[in-house]
Amino acid sequence: GSKAASTPAENYHLARRRTLQVVVSALLTESGFESAEKAAVETLTEMMQSYITEIGRCAKAYCEHTARSVPTLSDTLVTLIEMGFNVDTLPVYAKRSQRMVITAPPVTNAPVTPKALSAGQKRTHPAHIPGHFPEFPDPHTYIKTPTFREPVSDYQVVREKAATQRRDVERALTRFMAKTGETESLFKDDVTAFPLIAARPSAIPYLSALLPSELELQSLEETDSSEQDDQTDSENTAGNIITDDPGADKENSMLPPSGVAPSNKANEDNMIDNPYLRPVKKPKVRRKK
């Protein structure tokens, strides 16, 4: 399965794995096995790798815990102890007689970490900072790089641009609409020359002609939304109250507005006695005629 292995990093890992496999096989032979299934070897290799990795990880953790960057022997020892390994047996095991010697794995190049994209020039320390202090980080971590050009602030150009842009958008949009829908033409010979979107009658033509378009409506709302809200609110409440209690409404309507309790000032609007706001009466059960 080396086909997939193409990058140097992967090659490196594969070589190590192979060495581990050899080690496992040697140990098996040492223990008296004549042969082993591939899957068993793989499993053992995996276990071995995990074990070693864990030792490394743990040892590194211990060393970092003591604010160092390179693990020492004692870190490894503590690790092994922590993992439940009897360290004392190790020298004996290492010096056992029937051990097999394995050739060193072929030297493979450790993978190179790709260089960070250089941005700007690396800064040196200013004079007042001693040289032993850490260097500046890479410029890309702190340098602001503009991704757009300086906007043109000339009024004339701005207007010109806005106008052109709008016109282009409009033209493109209308052309698109004309291309995708029915059209009428002013010329018999060339129907595509000045395509007009076909006039389509609508069932309620006055709505679109009278109501402001959404675009316009937005700006309208911004100006007097508060006022409108007030009106609808009062109306709704007026309707509700009247429906709740039609009898009381009639009495109240006789009172002049000043007769309404001042504490209930908001109610003043609710006293509108308009016949069209009154509730619809239920028919009388007994018919007159």
Partner 1 sequence: MDFPTGHTPSINNLRRLKDKGFESPRKSVIGYVELTIFPTVVNLNRIKLNSKQCRIYRVRVNDLEAPFIYNDPTLEVCHHESKQRNLNYFSSAYTAAVSAVDPDAGHGELVIKVPSELWKQGDDLKALKVYIEFSLDQPKGGLHFVVPDVEGTMAERGAHVFSFGYQNSTRFWFPCVDSYSELCTWKLEFTVDAAMVAVSCGDLVETIYTHDMRKKTFHYVLPIPTAAPNISLAVGPFEILVDPYMHEVTHFCLPQLLPLLKHSMSYLHEIFEFYEEILTCRYPYSCFKTVFVDEAYVQVSSCASMSIFSTNLLHSAMIIDQTPQTRRCLAQALAQQFFGCFISRMSWADEWVLKGISGYIYGLYLKKTFGVNEYRHWIKEELDRIVEYELQMGGVLLHPTFGGGKEKDNPTPHLHFSIRHPHTLSWDYYKMFQCKAHLVMRLIENRISMEFMLQVFNKLLSLASTASSQKYQSHMWSQMLLSTHAFLKSISNVSGKDIGPLIKQWVDQSTVVKFFGSFAFNRKRNVLELEIRQDYTSPGTQKYVGPIKVTVQELDGSFNHMLQIEENSLKHDIPCHSKSRRNKKKKIPLMNGEEVDMDLSAMDADSPLLWIRIDPDMSILRKVEFEQADFMWQYQLRYERDVVAQEEAISALEKFPTPPSRLALTDILEQEQCFYKVRMQACFCLAKIANSMMSTWQGPPAMKSLFTRMFCCKSCPNIVKTNNFINFQSYFLQKTMPVAMALLRDVQNLCPKDVLNFILDLIKYNDNRKNKFSDNFYRAELIEALTNALTPAISINNEVRTVDNLNAEVRLILEEITRFLNMEKLLPSFRNTITVSCLRAIRQLQKNGHIPSDPSLFKSYAEYGHFVDVRIAALYALVDYTRVERSSAELQWLLNMVQNDPAPYISRHRILGMLCQNPPFTKTADSALCNEALVDELWKLMNSGTSHDWRLRCDAVNLYYTLFGLTRPSCLPLPELGLVLNLKEKKAVLNPTIKPELGGGTVIDTPASIGIHGQLPNTRNPCSTTYNKEDIDMETVHDSQAFIHHHLNLLERPSTPGGSNTCLHVLRMACVLHYRRSQTNKH
- Which phi and psi (to 5°) does residue 197 adopt? -60, 130
* Side-chain-facing half-sphere of 237: CA atoms under 13 Å: 11
C-alpha 10/C-alpha 8 separation (Å) is 5
For residue 180, the minimal CB distance to partner 1 (Å) is: 12
Nearer to partner 1, 30 or 273 (CB): 273
Classify burial at 79, counting beta carbons within 10 Å of its beta carbon; exposed 0-12, middle 13-18, buried 19 or more.
buried
CA 128 to chain centre: 43
Counting Cα atoms < 13 Å in the Cβ hemisphere of 47 gives: 7
Long-range contacts, stretch 57-65, CB < 8 angstroms, 24+ apart: 58/82, 58/83
Select from 36-44, 53-61, 84-92, 184-192 the region that touches partner 1 (CB under 8 A). Answer: 184-192
Q: Does 196 bind partner 1 (CB under 8 A)?
A: yes
Beta pairing partners, 184:
196
Query: Near partner 1 by CB under 8 A, which window of 30-38, 54-62, 126-134, 199-207?
Result: 199-207
**Residue 27 in tokens:** 């140990």
Shortest gap between Cβ of 148 and partner 1 (angstroms)? 23
| Cβ distance to partner 1 smaller for residue 34 or 190 | 190
**Interface stretch with partner 1, choices 44-52, 95-103, 120-128, 268-276 (CB under 8 A):** 268-276
What DSSP state is assigned to residue 157? H
Nearer to partner 1, 44 or 242 (CB): 242
Q: CA 184 from chain center: how many Å? A: 46
Which residue of 34, 37, 88, 190 would you call a contact of partner 1, by CB under 8 A? 190
Span of 29-37, 50-58, 124-132, 193-201 interacting with partner 1 by CB under 8 A: 193-201
The reply to whether 159 sits near partner 1 by the rule CB under 8 A is yes
**Mask: binding to partner 1, 203-242, rule CB under 8 A, as x and -?**
xxxxxxxxxxx-xx--xx--xx---x--x---x-------
Interface residue with partner 1 among 5, 20, 36, 197 (CB under 8 A) is 197
In terms of Cβ atoms closer than 10 Å to its own Cβ (0-12, 13-18, 19+), residue 198 is exposed
Residue 48 neighbours by CB under 8 Å, 6+ apart: 20, 23, 24
Residue 184 is a binding residue for partner 1 (CB under 8 A):
yes
Nearer to partner 1, 74 or 218 (CB): 218
Q: Does position 258 bind partner 1 by CB under 8 A? A: no
Closest distance of CB 263 from partner 1, Å:
22
41 touches 29 (CB < 8 A): no
Based on the shown chain and the rule CB under 8 A, indicate whether residue 280 belongs to the binding site for partner 1. yes
Residue 102 or 173 having the CB closest to partner 1: 173
Contact between residue 63 and residue 75 where contact means Cβ atoms under 8 Å apart: yes
Q: Which residues of this chain interact with partner 1, rule CB under 8 A?
A: 155-156, 159-160, 162-163, 167, 170-171, 173-174, 177-178, 184, 186-190, 193-199, 201-213, 215-216, 219-220, 223-224, 228, 231, 235, 272-278, 280-283
